[in-house]
Amino acid sequence: MTDRKQMVFMLMILSLVLTVLPTMFIMSFGELNPIKTFVVIFSYTLMLCIFGLEIYDRRVKNTKQEVTALLEKEKMINGTLISINNEDKLKNVLALEIERIQYYDQSSSVIFFDVDRLGTINTYYGYHVGDQLLIEIIRMTQANIGEDDQLARIKGDTFAIILPNKPKQTAYLLAEKLQRILNQMNFAQVGRVSCRFAVLGLFKTSEEDKVIELAYEKLAQSKAFGKGSII
């Protein structure tokens, strides 16, 4: 027996049980036909149970569709849009960039940023809205960085941009540019959003673990400066 058939069978049993007491109660007030009374109450109760099942089925279907959509968006973010999609991959890229800096005696920079109030947006509007917001921010960022620059998603709403052969001051200017563009964008349902940026230089003596650790510290410190801060 399938789950749905089991559910219908249980509803019929429940309807029978729920019908007995009301029938006995009504019969206690006068000489009514017990069979007709039972049939009327049973039919009414069964209809209510079937209506409840239909509502339950719709909610389950909608929930499955929402989960599928979220998984597709997550797959799109981490697959199609971004290839460096976790902290370990970012460490590998940073390690290679530091080796290149050491070999050519150059310097580079990296920008870390996260989205202000994304948790509130997910709670109030739903995760599908938050994910769409991330997708639009990713596309905007990719459209405004150089061909040699690499965008990485570390986790959740935290991102990094590796800027080979670009000094820290250039990274600051890029962060300011991205913030200005964000301030002009109007996201569906959400309106305008901002990001907090942490800018770091990469040098011959840099270590990938320390770079990421320092970036997290700077992002945490940036909360004291308010939304849209760049430090």
For CA atoms 133, 139, 140, 142, the dihedral sign is positive
pLDDT of residue 128: 84
Helix, strand, or coil (residue 187): strand
User: Which fold would CATH assign to domain 84-225?
Assistant: Alpha-Beta Plaits (3.30.70)
Residue 104: the pLDDT is 85
pLDDT number for residue 80 = 56
What's the pLDDT tens digit per position in 88-114? 889 999 999 999 898 888 889 999 999
Residue boundaries of the structural domains of the chain: 3-70, 84-225
Cβ(113)–Cβ(177) under 8 Å? no
Low-confidence ranges of the chain (pLDDT < 70): 1-49, 51-53, 56-57, 59-81
Burial class (CB in 10 A: 0-12, 13-18, 19+), 26: middle
Helices (H) and strands (E) in the chain, counts: 7, 4
Residue at token pair 């009514």: 32
pLDDT tens-digit series, residues 185-223: 999 889 999 999 999 999 989 999 999 999 999 999 988
With beta carbons less than 8 A apart as the criterion, state whether 114 and 39 touch. no
Tokens of 106: 């150059």
pLDDT at residue number 156: 81
| Nearest partner of 162 among 131, 154, 71, judged by Cα | 154
Distance of CA 26 to the CA centre of its chain: 54
What does the pLDDT read at residue 71?
47
pLDDT value of position 43: 66
**Tokens 């409840």 label which residue?**
52
